[in-house]
Amino acid sequence: MSLTLRPVSRAEHLAFVGSRSSVSHMQVPSWGEVKPDWRAESLGWFDGDGRIVGAGLVLLRPLPKVKRYLAYLPEGPVIDWHADGLERWLEPMLAHLKARGAFSVKMGPPVVARRWSPEAVKAAIADPAARRLRDAEPTWQDPRAQALADRLRGMGWRQSEPDAEEGFAAGQPRYVCQVPFAGRSLEEIHGGLNQQWRRNIKKAEKAGVKVVRGGADDLPVFYELYRETAERDRFIPRPLAYFQRMWTALANEDPDRMRLYLAHHDGEVLAAATMLIVGSHVWYSYGASTAHKREVQPNNAMQWRMMADAHELGAHVYDFRGITDTLEESNHLLGLLRFKVGAGGEAAEYVGEWDFPLNKMLHKAFDLYMSRR
pLDDT at position 200 over 90: yes
What is the distance between the alpha carbons of residues 235 and 343, in angstroms, rounded to a whole number?
24
Confidence of residue 373 (pLDDT cuts 50, 70, 90): low
Q: Check whether 168 has a pLDDT greater than 50.
A: no
The pairing of strands 102-107 and 69-73 is parallel
Query: Quick one: pLDDT at residue 64?
Result: 78
Question: What is the overall mean pLDDT for the chain?
Answer: 94
Q: Name the least confident of 113-117, 271-275, 333-337.
A: 333-337
Over residues 340-347, mean pLDDT: 98
Q: What is the pLDDT of residues 109-152, one digit of tens each?
A: 999 999 999 999 999 999 998 999 999 999 999 999 999 999 99
Q: What is the pLDDT of residue 363?
A: 86
What does the pLDDT read at residue 162?
Answer: 57
Q: What share of the chain is helix, strand, coil (3-state, %, to 5)?
A: 40, 25, 35
Instruction: Return the percentage of the chain with pLDDT > 90, whole number.
Output: 86
d(CA 73, CA 353): 9
Quote the pLDDT of residue 372.
Answer: 73
pLDDT at 364: 83
Lowest mean pLDDT among 47-51, 96-100, 328-332: 328-332
Mean pLDDT, rounded, for 173-180: 97
Residues β-bridged to residue 353: none
Rounded Cα distance between 139 and 87, Å, is: 31
Report CA-CA distances (Å) from 225 to 131, 244, 287, 290, 333: 33, 15, 9, 6, 19
